[in-house]
């Protein structure tokens, strides 16, 4: 007994070959072209104060079409301000005419980025061996574009007061077009809780946030990630008004799944 027992030898080469290869996805490389300094002033374009509009007013998806086409159905009940409709929507119904052709096309890298980012977050739940590197500023800017787009729909109301495109702060537009930077403490936060289980999936919902009656940011659930874009510095008053968002991290650096190799790393 035992004498002739054979142990299967380990083929090291084979083990090395089957070792999972971690794929790196780079979502940092989206560049903007330079805008000409001269042009027209298109009345309904919210970037018309730059004086370099061109091509007339155009239609844009305020939640990027690149995301909308990844969703099976778009239910209005995931979109708070359309609650009363409670029916399936088409991507085309979520459009607004608030930018001229030139300014719309200038911001299109943000929509390409958003589509890729959404795909990566969705895939994060599955055991995919990948590391995704994200430019955090692009995510911040895209959410700002969504927020400004929402105001442009003329469908946001707060305590009976309807907001329209004249309520878009000029500073936000300047940040969106790279003329200014986010002030310290403003920008992107992620909401967390101890022992939080994040249910990732094929969904998106967004909603405006108000502080002292003033629109000051956006909440966004992107495939299960609870994000907060705050255009005011978060402080005690903010936490009292939005206790749900008390536990948030500013410009977070990474998302990691326990005991899994996949990661989303945010570069700032």
Rounded Cα distance between 261 and 42, Å, is: 49
**If residue 124 lies in a helix (H) or strand (E), which one and from where to where?**
helix 108-124
Provide the angle, in degrees to the nearest 10, between the axes of the packed helices 108-124 and 136-152. 110
173 vs 190 by CB, closer to Zn ion = 173
Candidates 69-77, 93-101, 219-227, 238-246: pick the segment binding Zn ion (CB under 5 A): 93-101
Least distance in Å: CB of 103 to Zn ion? 4
Q: Where does this chain touch Zn ion (CB under 5 A) — which range of 52-60, 80-88, 162-170, 252-260?
A: 52-60
Closest CB to Zn ion among residues 35, 229? 35
In the bound state with Zn ion, the residue whose beta carbon lies nearer, of 50 and 250, is: 50
Q: How many CB atoms lie within 10 A of CB 135?
A: 18
Q: x/- binding map, residues 193-232, to Zn ion, per CB under 5 A?
A: ----------------------------------------
Q: How many residues can be counted in the chain?
A: 268
| Strand pairing class (254-256; 57-61) | unpaired
Identify whether the C-beta of residue 190 lies closer than 8 Å to the C-beta of residue 225.
yes
Structure tokens belonging to residue 102: 């030139």
- Least separation in angstroms between CB 101 and Zn ion: 8
Query: What is the nearest approach in angstroms of Zn ion to the Cβ of residue 114?
Result: 21
Three-state DSSP at 117 gives helix
152 vs 191 by CB, closer to Zn ion: 152
Question: 26: closest CA among 268, 264, 254?
Answer: 264
Of 8-16, 51-59, 164-172, 249-257, the window that binds Zn ion (rule: CB under 5 A) is: 51-59
> How far apart are the C-alpha atoms of 189 and 246, rounded to whole Å?
10
Pairing mode of beta strands 204-211, 95-100? unpaired
CB-wise, 103 or 234, nearer to Zn ion?
103
C-beta of 102 vs 122, nearer to Zn ion: 102
- Please name every residue paired with 131 in a beta bridge, in sequence order, or none if there are none: 24, 263
Number of residues counted as binding Zn ion (CB under 5 A): 6
Residues 6+ apart with CB under 8 A from 217: 147, 208, 209, 228, 229, 230, 231, 232
In angstroms, what is the minimal distance from the CB of 40 to Zn ion?
Answer: 8
Single out the residue of 65, 221, 220, 198 nearest to residue 124, CA to CA: 198
- Which residues in 99-128 contact Zn ion (CB under 5 A)? 100, 103
Phi, psi of 234 (to 5 degrees): -70, 135
CB closer to Zn ion, 100 vs 144: 100
Contact status: 53 vs Zn ion (CB under 5 A): yes
CB of 139 to Zn ion, least distance (A): 24
Minimum CB distance to Zn ion, residue 142 (Å) = 19
Binding of Zn ion by 45 (CB under 5 A) = yes
Closer residue to Zn ion in complex, CB, 177/266: 177
DSSP 8-state code for residue 226? E
Residues that bind Zn ion (CB under 5 A): 42, 45, 47, 53, 100, 103
């Amino acid at each position: 007994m035992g004498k002739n027992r054979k142990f299967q030898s380990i083929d090291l080469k084979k083990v090395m070959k089957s070792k999972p290869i971690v794929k790196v996805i780079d979502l940092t490389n989206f560049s903007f072209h330079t805008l000409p300094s001269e042009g027209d002033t298109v009345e309904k374009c919210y970037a018309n104060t730059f004086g370099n509009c061109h091509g007339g007013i155009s239609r844009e998806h305020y939640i990027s079409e690149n995301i909308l086409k990844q969703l099976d159905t778009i239910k209005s009940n995931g979109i708070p301000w359309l609650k009363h409709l409670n029916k399936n929507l088409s991507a085309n119904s979520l459009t607004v005419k608030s930018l001229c052709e030139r300014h719309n096309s200038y911001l299109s890298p943000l929509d390409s980025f958003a589509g890729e980012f959404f795909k990566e977050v969705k895939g994060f739940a599955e055991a995919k061996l990948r590391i995704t590197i994200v430019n955090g500023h692009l995510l911040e800017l895209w959410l700002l574009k969504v927020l400004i787009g929402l105001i442009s729909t003329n469908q946001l109301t707060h305590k009976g007061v309807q907001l329209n495109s004249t309520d878009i702060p000029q500073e936000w537009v300047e940040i969106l077009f790279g003329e200014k930077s986010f002030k310290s403490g403003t920008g992107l936060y992620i909401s967390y809780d101890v022992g939080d289980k994040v249910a990732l999936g094929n969904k998106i919902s967004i909603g405006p946030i108000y502080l002292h009656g003033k629109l000051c940011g956006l909440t966004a659930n992107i495939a299960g990630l609870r994000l907060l874009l705050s255009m005011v510095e978060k402080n005690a008053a903010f936490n009292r008004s939005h206790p749900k968002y008390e536990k948030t991290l500013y410009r977070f650096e990474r998302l990691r799944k326990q005991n899994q190799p996949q990661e989303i790393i945010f570069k700032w």
